[in-house]
Amino acid sequence: MEHKIAETNARIDVADVLRGLAVMGIILLHSIEHFNFYSFPEEVPFEWMKFTDQAIWRGLFFTFSNKAYAVFALLFGFSFYIQDNNQQRRGKDFRLRFLWRLFILFIIGQFNAAFFTGEILTMYAILGIILPIFCRMSDRTVAIFATLLILQPIDWAKLI
């Protein structure tokens, strides 16, 4: 009996699942905000219904809102790393292709901005430009830049 080794899938399933859950959470939250589902009736037959409405509303946002955005942002950087690393192993430079993808993301974000005021894709496209710049720098250099950005020297200078 001859056994063939299955071809390995280069995709990371956990990252795909997390990305899907993050997108689902973001779509859910945007739908609630866009269609004004967070309006509650002023008068309800029972007082406990007001409490239930608020508990579900707050629980939903506590569960999904910031976590979905954070996971999506983390996976944005993780995906860049995986793609860049794979192309480096093949001897190719991924940075120009990534900039092209950011341009396409910017166009999609501008189209989306026509329908939704809280558009974030454009911001990802603009801020994503720093990834190809910093990806080849040493960890120490990136840590120095990150520390400077966290300390916000421009805002401190305004206070002095």
**Which pLDDT band holds residue 82 (cuts at 50, 70, 90)?**
very high
Q: Over 60: is that where the pLDDT of 6 sits?
A: no
Cα(153)–Cα(23) distance, integer angstroms? 34
pLDDT for the residue 48: 80
Residues 128 and 152 in one domain: yes
Answer yes or no: do 68 and 122 share one domain: no
Residue 6 or 80, more confident = 80
pLDDT of 97 over the 90 cut: yes
Question: Which domain-ending residue is among 76, 92, 108?
Answer: 92
Task: Examine the domain organization and report whether 124 and 160 are in the same domain.
Answer: yes
- pLDDT tens across 123-155, in order? 999 999 999 999 999 999 999 999 998 998 888
Measured distance CA(106)–CA(125) in Å, rounded = 5
Q: Domain check: are 109 and 43 in the same one?
A: no
Q: Which domain holds residue 109?
A: 94-160
Q: 22: exposed, middle or buried (C-beta count within 10 Å: 0-12, 13-18, 19+)?
A: buried
* Beta carbons within 8 Å of 26's beta carbon, 6+ residues apart: 68, 69, 72
87 shares its domain with 106: no
